[in-house]
Amino acid sequence: MTGVSALEPEFLGDSSAGAWVFNRDGSPMVRSEWWYHRATQLWFKVQRHTGTDQIVGVELARTNEESG
Amino acid sequence: MLKQSPIIGCFAHDKFQFAGVNGMRIATLSNTSSYLDQPTGDYVADLSAIPKRLVVGVEAPVWLAQQGIEAPSGLLQYHLIEDGTTVVKLHHQQYLLISGISIMTRLPLGSVFDLDEGRHGNVMVLDYECAEIAIGGPHLAVLLAEFCPMDFAAAPEGVWIATPMAHCEVSLQLNRTGKPACRVLCSPAEAQYLFEIIKDVIDQHDGAVLGFNDYVTIIVNGGVSQP
Amino acid sequence: MASRLPPQPGEWIDRGTSINFSFEGKGYRAFKGDVITSALLAADRLSIGRSFKYHRLRGVLSAANHDANLLVETTTRTNIRADIEHPEPGVSYRAVNTFGGLKRDAGSLLQLFSSVLPVGFYYKTFYRPRALFPIWEKLLRRFAGLGAVNTDAPIRRWSRRNRFCDVLVIGGGAAGLAAARTLAGRSLEVIVVDENPRLGGRLHYQGQGDPTALSVIAAAEESFGRDSGIEVLTAHFAAGFYADNSVPLVGPDGIIQVQAKCVIFATGLYEQPAVFRNNDLPGIMLASGVQRLVHRYAIAPFDSAVVLAGNREAYRVTLDLVQAGLNITTIVDMGDGSHGELRERVNGHGITVIPQATVISARARGGRLAAIRLRTETGKPEITCDGLLMSVGWAPAAGLAYQAGATMEFDETIGQLVPRELPSGLFVAGSLNGVFDDDALRADGEAAASDALKCLGLVSPDNLRPRRSIERHSHPYPIAAHSRGWDFVDFDEDVQVGDLRTAWREGFDSAELMKRYATVGMGPSQGKTANMNAQRILARLNETSVQAAGVTTSRPFTHPVPMGMLAGRRFRPRWRTPMHACHVARQADLMEAGTWLRPRSYTRKTPESAITDEYARVRHGVGIIDVSTLGKIELFGADALPLLEYAYTCSFTKLGTGMTRYIFMVDDTGTLVDDGVAARVSDDHFYVTATSSHAQAAVLKLQLYAVQLGLDVAVIDRTFRVGAINLAGPLSAQVLASLTGLDLSAQAFPYLGIRFCQLDGTPVRLLRVGFVGELGYEIHFPASYGPALWRALLNAGAAHDIRPFGVDAQRLLRLEKGHLIVGQDTDGTTNPYEAGLGWGVNLSKSRFVGRHSLKVLKTQTARKLVGFTCSEPEGRMIEECHLVIEGGVIAGRVTSVAYSPYCSEVIGLMMVDLALTRTGRELKVKLTDGGLAAVRVAKTPFYDPDNQRQHLHAQQTVNTAK
């Protein structure tokens, strides 16, 4: 599952909020995405080229407990 | 009896005997199956009465160590401790304990499986309610291929397998040594649907549906090593 | 006339076993191993089908289902491929797409109207004249489609197995078998799949009875097996190519879903027909089709035949068939006929060769070919014959390779598209790769296998790829368009050359446009014997090269796949609550709510009175409802509170220990997505509920935020593992008191509190909530205790006449309180301010999901969710989603509506423009029949506006007995 929100950045002025929510650059390139594995309920950070659909990198997302 | 197996409704009243195992009412013995006389075919059995607990919290490994239980270090790793209990690191700060079958009816005092749900020290201990279904037999690989899209040959040792099965999310433990067998954990809500599918496929291979005690007898006879 | 030949070496039939079946009402006998087509031909039955559009008689073309001329059906199955299917004993088959049987198909009259049914005619019926379209629509629906579906046919669950392997070799011909041999004995899992019942492909039927060819095949059939690691799957075809090298193999018993590390495409070529007037008559066949009939099934499909030669293969085929005992009188050579030794041998058999000639038309008698007319250097002679073999060229069977991402280029030397580039892990071998002679095919297969081995990281010698053929195998333009038509390019769709010209003239001049306008390549054979000629015609019309004319996108499936096979075992999960068996035992009216099964009500009377009974029980006595479908999430850890503050809109600072509060969640556009209740058990332990439909999403979002923010918190999903029952009604506290020693007084257990205790021995959490507007307790418990607890509550409440109530009654109860349901009273655009929930948004919180959008939306509220009442009789006809009309325009919509026993009138909620929301304002709602109902805006709650009923009163004695 992709396309879930990234953390909202701090906005300068209200107008940029709408642009951030509704206008995203979709040009094909390697993008970072959040992927959810339903069977284990774990989130992963995935680098995928959105043009060729090739997975370039996968990393388990960690909580505070494991970041050490 | 206050508890009952999530799939007790899948066992016909005239074909099975029912009793309480660890406080849960469950099908224990098949009245009709000749499986035990000749344990060579495929079978499916209800193991939901096996006690399970979830130990939660950032201090869980420390707390478990104090109970004499070594916690796995990495996510989705698991191991067995001497009394047959399985310990899995299921999620961030969450550890699943599955009681060994041989000790479950005579749990030692102060066992984790005896604790009430709630806070204990600086961890939380929760009931892990689920249905547990055992599947085994010579056609296990073919049976699983009918409803599970996973390449089991590629699954490494010591890793807890979580995969879709007939569009449900399940966990499973594969028996790596000895006869082909596995144990499937699924949520109580999906259990009846999943069991009917497994039963359907087992029927096509002329397999047997067994009760909890039937299954214990099989492993006591050495057919399947635990888990 | 067609007949059975004496035994042929390597034939696929077993003459010792017979099978009786019937076709179009007549009985036929087949040998075991025969297909329907060959069994019918053995009895000289040449016409087996009727075409789609003009219902012209059709016969064998490819004898391998590379065309879709011959589809038959039985009473239980349809669209059966007669070239492939073995006839079953005692079964009656008939042709598809006929009106009154094959022989007297009334649809053949359509041929008389062909001039008013040009290409694209049915698009035009959509436009003018509009009045006639309903008539056209009925006609078109009647004539479209092929087989008929018998909706009473027994349901069959098909196997759909998963399978993994190292190498998948698609195609068991010369190259495929060579590749497999190279991969044998290497401890690899290899699958060789072939769509025919036996291995061999062209190696078998073009071998000229060559014993070495047959022995290669026999060796493969013997040696491949478990020990060599090679699994052979015949009678299975690779239906498509999907991500991660996933290829479904469709066979007679179901689908095997294969995922391979490497794939070798050895799928070969499709022979192409020539285009001329009446080229679809029974008796006109592809040369390879005849070879299949002769060598597989020992069928001679004609008495005397002519060969139309566009390549050198034609001569070899001629010699092969003559050797098998068939009578070929003439070769019509589209070239100069100089083929050296082959030409001499042909002449030696007494066969005339007419060079620089081509066939321009064919004539039928009695529904089959009787004569052909040629155009030669000198004139237009006619030749009598009942068989015409077309050997004019080939097109690659590259569908799967295209789907896998291969690019192809047109090789002018061979006259064929050949692969240029493939993604890694994928390889081609054999004639698909432009390699033709036997040694080269074998070498190409071995080389492809070597490449695959290297790709798997195994050591393998460098096998050189053989050079591609340097001979022309396909005639550049085997098309003789005829002014009077019936010169078919696509047999499936009855597309003629004139149709393509018309399409081009009307502006559909690219491959993709022409395909869709003329429907060329859109039939069941997906253009296997049509697309190449269409591409040639388009190139000529556009005056470009064949390469530039382009191909259309190749898509699954390679051959038609029955829907039942795709459904497989029909997995359709149904989630059951812990008390499901109790509801079934009470004969509850169960409904599907998402994936859940929930009781709508417990009475079998007419719906409204059933709901009213259950409703009344809760308002005046006590009832229980199974609410186990709610999402339930446990949060434990030092950062549990920060996670909640980030995920939800409200502030939690005032939430005390042992208390709950109503919460809701928005997405980053500020749209309401979920609501529920949060309970503070302790400073590091919270228990949260969510709506049934958003439960899984709520869990994954909380887990996502936990990792995104790097929080120290465990998020535990308990939705399926914890059951919940809502005990509601003025007598609910008395029922509870008999089951627990917990102090239930208002001081000890206030409204919105949460308590932990035991009910009759079951460990539970109690939440005092007010969704239905009465004194009530939501009881949460571990799932396996559910049925016992349900029974205990019913027993404890028996003295108070407790009854279970269902979802319908619950919805009425909450509507009287004006409580909204997220997803019903809100939609994908509703924000909290519109829903009257602005009080639950705390913008002074520095950071939470949706904050930035909500800040903007707060100032832009243009509509509002309000209550309404209707005392008119038409009010009973108001339904959800009926529109509010004001001044002739849409001003809002009804989101919930029901007849309220308490108010004795229809009540509901509606989302309307802000200007219309003054209490008492009259509005109009448009009903289904177009009439208007008058409603009035009303304040909510409709029932108990001071919320007194939710509180514990003195008369509801709470004793701590038991």
What is the Cα–Cα distance from C813 to C618, expressed in whole angstroms? 8
CATH number of residue B37's parent domain = 3.30.1360.120
Confirm whether B173 is domain-assigned.
yes
User: What's the mean pLDDT in C336-363?
Assistant: 93
The yes/no answer on whether domain C488-563 falls in CATH 1.10.10 is: yes
User: Over the stretch B95-116, which tens digit does the pLDDT of each residue have?
Assistant: 999 998 887 777 777 788 888 8
Mean pLDDT, chain C, rounded, equals 92
Tokens of C449: 């296998």
Domain endpoint, select from B127, B142, B173: B127
Check residue B225 and give its pLDDT.
Answer: 44
Strands (DSSP E) contained in B57-167 are: 78-80, 86-91, 94-98, 118-120, 123-127, 131-136, 161-165
Check residue C153 and give its pLDDT.
Answer: 81
Confirm whether B225 is domain-assigned.
no
Tokens of C403: 């789907």
The residue with tokens 């448009």 is C926
What is the Cα–Cα distance from C328 to C133, expressed in whole angstroms? 52
> Could you tell me if B64 and B146 lie in one domain?
no
C814-846: burial string, b at 16+ Cβ within 10 Å, e else: bbbbbbbbbbebbeeebbbbbbebbebbbeebe
Please identify, in words, the CATH class of the domain defined by C3-108.
alpha beta
- pLDDT reading at C608 higher than 50: yes
> Could you tell me if B31 and B57 lie in one domain?
no
Query: Do B39 and B29 form a contact (C-beta atoms < 8 A)?
Result: no
Domain endpoint, select from B71, B104, B127: B127
Q: What does DSSP assign to residue C67?
A: S
C-alpha pair distances (Å), C513 with each of C126, C321, C492, C507: 19, 41, 18, 9
- pLDDT reading at B37 higher than 80: no
Architecture of the domain made up of C818-841+861-938: Beta Barrel (2.40)
> Could you tell me if B44 and B149 lie in one domain?
yes
Q: Domain C631-717 sits in which CATH superfamily?
A: Aminomethyltransferase beta-barrel domains (3.30.70.1400)
What is the Cα–Cα distance from B70 to B52, expressed in whole angstroms? 16
The residue with tokens 């796949």 is C561
User: What's the mean pLDDT in C681-692?
Assistant: 97
Contact A11 C852 (CB under 8 A): yes
Check residue C891 and give its pLDDT.
Answer: 96
Count of alpha carbons within 13 angstroms of residue B52, beta-carbon side: 24
Going by their DSSP bridges, the two strands C92-95 and C71-73 should be labelled as antiparallel
Pick the residue of C241, C667, C708 with the most A CBs within 10 A to test the interface with A by mutation.
C708
CATH number of residue B104's parent domain = 3.30.70
> Could you tell me if B61 and B29 lie in one domain?
no
Report the chain B residue with the minimal C-alpha distance to residue C258: B149
Count of alpha carbons within 13 angstroms of residue C566, beta-carbon side: 8
Domain endpoint, select from B109, B127, B145: B127
- pLDDT reading at A67 higher than 50: no
Confirm whether B103 is domain-assigned.
yes
Check residue B226 and give its pLDDT.
Answer: 46
Check residue C954 and give its pLDDT.
Answer: 56
Burial zone of C511 (CB within 10 Å; 0-12 exposed, 13-18 middle, 19+ buried) = buried
Check residue C645 and give its pLDDT.
Answer: 97
- pLDDT reading at C591 higher than 80: yes
> Could you tell me if B23 and B68 lie in one domain?
no
**C357 SS3 class:** coil
User: Over the stretch C45-61, which tens digit does the pLDDT of each residue have?
Assistant: 999 998 988 889 999 99
Tell me the residue range of the domain where B58 lies: 52-127
Query: Do C320 and C208 form a contact (C-beta atoms < 8 A)?
Result: yes
| Chain center to CA of B213 | 14
Confirm whether B73 is domain-assigned.
yes
DSSP bridge partners of C496: C488
Band (A14; pLDDT cuts 50, 70, 90): low
> Could you tell me if B96 and B108 lie in one domain?
yes
Q: How far is B60 from chain C (nearest CA, A)?
A: 11
Q: Domain C581-628+722-814 sits in which CATH superfamily?
A: Probable tRNA modification gtpase trme; domain 1 (3.30.1360.120)
User: What's the mean pLDDT in A41-60?
Assistant: 93
Cβ pairs bridging A and B (under 8 Å): 25
Nearest Cα neighbor of B121 from B197, B39, B193, B58 is B58
User: What's the mean pLDDT in C198-210?
Assistant: 82
Q: How many CB atoms lie within 10 A of CB C463?
A: 17
Indicate the Cα dihedral angle C13, C63, C354, C351, nearest 10°.
Answer: 10
Between CA B65 and CA B70, with CA B69 as vertex, the angle to 5 degrees is 75
Between B57, B92, B192, which is nearest C576 by CB? B192
What is the Cα–Cα distance from C190 to C256, expressed in whole angstroms? 14
Confirm whether B227 is domain-assigned.
no
Report the chain A residue with the minimal C-alpha distance to residue C424: A54
Which ranges in chain C are annotated with CATH 3.30.70.1400?
Answer: 631-717
- pLDDT reading at B138 higher than 70: yes
User: Over the stretch C11-48, which tens digit does the pLDDT of each residue have?
Assistant: 999 999 999 999 999 999 999 999 999 999 999 999 99
Nearest Cα neighbor of C75 from C164, C154, C186 is C154
Tokens of C588: 């509850």
User: What's the mean pLDDT in A7-32?
Assistant: 78
**For chain B, how many structural domains are there in total?**
2
Query: Do C158 and C253 form a contact (C-beta atoms < 8 A)?
Result: yes
What is the Cα–Cα distance from C448 to C430, expressed in whole angstroms? 9
C-alpha pair distances (Å), C911 with each of C105, C405, C663, C823, C932: 59, 50, 21, 13, 17
Tokens of C528: 């296997």
Which ranges in chain C are annotated with CATH 3.50.50.60?
Answer: 159-270+396-455, 271-394
Check residue B175 and give its pLDDT.
Answer: 82
**φ, ψ for residue C832, nearest 5 deg:** -60, -35
Query: Do C478 and C392 form a contact (C-beta atoms < 8 A)?
Result: yes
Confirm whether B226 is domain-assigned.
no
User: Over the stretch C924-962, which tens digit does the pLDDT of each residue have?
Assistant: 999 999 999 999 999 999 999 888 888 887 555 554 433
Q: Determine the residue type at B76.
A: L
> Could you tell me if B59 and B24 lie in one domain?
no
Query: Do C238 and C249 form a contact (C-beta atoms < 8 A)?
Result: yes
What is the Cα–Cα distance from C105 to C97, expressed in whole angstroms? 9
Which spans in C43-192 are helix H? 121-125, 133-143, 174-183
- For chain B, positions 26-85, list CB contacts with chain C under 8 A: 48, 54, 56-58
Query: Do C168 and C247 form a contact (C-beta atoms < 8 A)?
Result: yes
**C367 vs B19 pLDDT, higher one:** B19
What is the Cα–Cα distance from C718 to C782, expressed in whole angstroms? 9
User: Over the stretch C865-922, which tens digit does the pLDDT of each residue have?
Assistant: 999 999 999 899 999 999 999 999 999 999 999 999 999 999 999 999 999 999 999 9
- pLDDT reading at C749 higher than 50: yes
- pLDDT reading at A5 higher than 70: no
| Chain center to CA of B75 | 19
Contact C763 B116 (CB under 8 A): yes
Which distant-in-sequence residues (6+ apart) come within 8 Å of B215 by Cβ?
A: B43, B45, B47, B134
- pLDDT reading at B25 higher than 70: yes
**φ, ψ for residue B41, nearest 5 deg:** -90, -165
Tokens of C301: 């499909």
Q: How far is A45 from chain C (nearest CA, A)?
A: 10
**C614 vs C120 pLDDT, higher one:** C614
Tokens of C721: 């593992």
> Could you tell me if B74 and B91 lie in one domain?
yes
ipTM: 0.96
User: What's the mean pLDDT in B131-149?
Assistant: 93
Fold annotation for C271-394: FAD/NAD(P)-binding domain (3.50.50)
Q: Domain C159-270+396-455 sits in which CATH superfamily?
A: FAD/NAD(P)-binding domain (3.50.50.60)
Contact A5 C667 (CB under 8 A): yes
Contact A43 C707 (CB under 8 A): yes
> Could you tell me if B145 and B119 lie in one domain?
no
| Chain center to CA of C880 | 31
Minimum mean pLDDT range among C329-333, C768-772, C856-860: C768-772
User: What's the mean pLDDT in C475-502?
Assistant: 95
What is the Cα–Cα distance from C866 to C875, expressed in whole angstroms? 17
Q: How far is A16 from chain C (nearest CA, A)?
A: 9
Mean pLDDT, chain B, rounded, equals 90
What is the Cα–Cα distance from C869 to C855, expressed in whole angstroms? 33
Query: Do C767 and C829 form a contact (C-beta atoms < 8 A)?
Result: no
pTM over 0.80: yes
> Could you tell me if B27 and B139 lie in one domain?
yes
> Could you tell me if B44 and B139 lie in one domain?
yes
